[in-house]
Chains A and B, each alone.
Chain A
């Protein structure tokens, strides 16, 4: 059994919380004591049925205001798969929280209120999905009960969205007409929309192929920690511990250490008491090399035949996440996996109006702004382009005055 992490984009008004509540409720994922709390709540739907949206409210302020402020993680499983839902806020002022929830997701559910069709918010959410390179997109046309379960309405919105998806370069898009409130096509297939030939949302989530087909060659492992017991019997033991970001390493593969450029051959792979022949993407391993070379935390081990990009000047998409705006005169810290280096923003190339997708000239970057920049780092970075290898193509910016994480970066090109 494997795990699928997905996130939901939409607002309470679109029925996002109700949809998640419905998924949990109809898969029997809600326990008796939680259900009891739900039934005792004063919040009820107009027809007196329990308001499933309450299930996703976490913080006091969220309950008070009836909105989602921060990402909440929910867990459920069926016989086929385990699911982690990142329930992200939909309002524009919480764009950074959505980016946070989406950054680790493999699938996005975009919610559309079928009474309204594609609106500004849909464009914004879809843009973020394309920016973050989410592999699979499910568009749920919600509130079908309020448009008479109309096939015509469904077709009109699907056509609208397909145009948007083409503009954004979204490839894998699936459309499902649902009513989260009534439960149509969420877990159980709807009897009200016989014209719809597809599956329910849950069926799709259970069966969508999310196996990573990493380009086997893009073997990358940032060194997190050097294991050196320094005991008498393990005097020469020196293991490089880290998590394989992408690709795979085999025993006897030639590897290069970046940024130094020195190389060696993998002598042994350890996973605790096991010694496998191959270390795959996602595994936390300890590698041993044939030669004694200088390697420390922050260095990256890569397959010598398939080197990543290496540069100090990089063109990147940037999502600004701090209340204090971008200041081109400040030296920030850039963290790329386990590597931290100083960084300055050299140039703002453009900013994107995320409601209209227009690129604009810009001289500033404020909270929730997204656009393209050129940055310069103090050390060489060993990275891949985000489109080719997400795991090695992203970084964060830290303001060393406040230590806050202030931006998300996705590497797009080497700058001249």
Chain B
């Protein structure tokens, strides 16, 4: 036989499956963090490929801000039904009710940053030692520096200056009690890779990823879905536009883009031609140049 080389999607897929199986083999109580976004939906597909016909060796965990797009929750519940795996929900509303976090005030209030506390509490409550997430290195410059196995201390903090060397494809998941590891199997995928994979695998997605009509307001140059979760005042003008969402997070921090993309192929050509990065539609990253680095140090994904 002559030379053999994997196609890029096969290679990325094989790498991600290898990482998921290392998590299963190395940890006592792992969990897969599921947001309802395309990246975590991709992770679920990869987990099926890694462990079927067996069960997943971990539950899915959703940190629910209470400010979700309804379509995401519908999708989540249908998916759980289909795959027959366990779902654990950590509620930001409960953290607020318990007085552990305080709801932000003002026009740009969002529950995005409050998630960190609920996430850390959920990890502690269930004793998770590894949390699998769908973050990618092409999203943001702090993420570009993070390891695939990223050790967090007892407080969930990332220390960029004390990262373990990560050599070849050998992953060191050894930790002390109380620490946990965040694991990113699709670190090396780009946004376009995820979309091409979703297309190849014919993975269903929440409908908000595709073009639809919606009431929006313009805030800081971004289109935000008009909803009870957005603090609006007399200056805000509601417009009816054809939009879609490029990332799916909390309703109060995820901006829409005007789009005619009804099909996966439309989305793929839209992204290929796009001149704006994916996280350009995330208000949470606009705070400062080191916004993501700072949030990660605090325990965020």
Contact = CB atoms under 8 A, between A and B. Distances in A.
Given A227-B54, A338-B22, A59 B17 contact: no
Nearest to A333: B174
Interface in A55-83: 57-61, 63, 69-75, 77, 82
- Max chain A C-beta neighbours (<10 A), residue from B52, B53, B190: B53
Interface residues of A, number: 73
Given A34-B277, A58-B145, A75-B137, A297 B25 contact: yes
Interface in B53-98: 53-55, 57
- Max chain B C-beta neighbours (<10 A), residue from A77, A216, A284: A284
Given A1-B7, A284-B50, A405-B167, A33 B277 contact: yes
A237 B54 CA distance: 9
Contact of A211 (B5, B12, B13, B51): B5
B196 to A, nearest CB: 10
B24 interface: yes
A408 B174 contact: no
B141 A57 contact: yes
B36 to A, nearest CB: 23
Contacts of B192: 77
Contacts of A63: 289
A3 B293 contact: no
A99 B190 contact: no
Given A281-B4, A284-B21, A234 B53 contact: yes
B270 to A, nearest CB: 13
Contacts of A140: none
A335 interface: yes
Contacts of B161: 59, 61, 69-70
Interface in A218-254: 224-225, 227-229, 231, 234, 237, 241-243, 248
B145 A398 contact: no
Contacts of A242: 18, 21
B277 A31 contact: yes
A70 B54 contact: no
Interface in B226-277: 274-277
Contacts of A234: 53
A156 interface: no
A396 interface: yes
A284 B169 CA distance: 13
A137 to B, nearest CB: 19
Nearest to A62: B145
A99 B174 contact: no
A39 interface: no
Interface string B21-63: 1101100000000000000000000001111111101000000
Nearest to A82: B8
Interface in A253-282: 271-272, 280-282
A335 B8 contact: no
Interface string A299-340: 000000000000000000000010000000000010111100
A216 B174 contact: no
B99 interface: no
B138 A104 contact: no
A335 B170 contact: yes
B200 interface: no
Shortest beta-carbon contacts, A-B, top 10:
A284-B17, A32-B275, A224-B21, A403-B174, A211-B3, A33-B280, A243-B18, A284-B14, A100-B165, A58-B141
Interface of A: 1-3, 31-34, 37, 57-61, 63, 69-75, 77, 82, 84, 96-97, 99-100, 103-104, 210-214, 216, 224-225, 227-229, 231, 234, 237, 241-243, 248, 271-272, 280-284, 297, 321, 333, 335-338, 390-391, 394-396, 398, 400, 403-405, 408
18 contacts: A58-B142, A58-B293, A59-B290, A60-B290, A61-B160, A70-B145, A71-B145, A75-B138, A75-B190, A229-B55, A241-B51, A272-B49, A281-B4, A282-B11, A283-B6, A284-B18, A400-B174, A408-B165
Interface of B: 1-8, 10-15, 17-18, 21-22, 24-25, 48-55, 57, 137-138, 141-142, 144-145, 151, 160-161, 163-170, 172, 174-176, 187-188, 190, 192, 274-277, 280, 289-290, 293
Given A63-B289, A283-B6, 6 more contacts: A1-B8, A31-B274, A58-B144, A59-B145, A231-B53, A284-B49
